[in-house]
Amino acid sequence: MSTLLAPPPAPRAAPPALLTAEEFYDRYGRGGYELVKGVVQEVAMPGARHGKVCVKVARVLDEFFEANSLGHVMSNDTLMLLRRGPDSMRGADVCFVSHATLPKDAVPDGPLEVIPELVFEVRSPSDPWTEVIEKMLDYVKAGVKVVVILDPKTKSASVFRPTDRQEILEADQTLTLPDVLPGFALVVGKLFE
């Protein structure tokens, strides 16, 4: 009587090697990628509508910040170091860093190594909410005080803070951010014009 032998188990693929922020930036710092807990993730390139909303947000914020000498506005998926061990680097659509956090003449050529006070993300049609929320949570866990997710499809803004409930604002409602930008007010729909 012969005994049937089971085939040997298939070899398991080795988990990807975790990269440090410095290794990631050296290899992938030209765009199209983020580092999440040491693992490189490709990010989809956004479309024209996404870019237009980002420019609008950056322009509105920059005008407000320049008039009040508050800090720096950055865009174009500015890479920022969010955590170490394993390292994570995300690219914000638009962010604000106060002069108290990053002095006026101290903007680095490479990634941002301080945590911004405010981040805006614009949801692309290809972005599932689960990924957008995961990115927002990474920002909040790193110490970002306010994250605003703009959804061009619904012309709405979802505002997240570490200790408050999500606030959803429709196109006709006014976005205010008194905890990071006292005096700032803008009707949400203006960001989508």
Of residues 186 and 9, more confidence is placed in: 186
**DSSP-derived 3-state class of residue 39:** strand
Q: What is the CATH number of the domain that holds 134?
A: 3.90.1570.10
Residue-wise pLDDT for 47-86, tens only, equals: 899 899 999 999 999 999 888 888 999 998 899 999 999 9
- Residue 68's pLDDT is 84
Count of domains for the chain: 1
110: in domain? yes
135 close to 93: Cβ distance less than 8 angstroms: no
pLDDT at residue 188 is higher than 60: yes
Please give the share of the chain, as a percent, with pLDDT higher than 90. 74
Q: What is the pTM of this model?
A: 0.89
179: in domain? yes
5: in domain? no
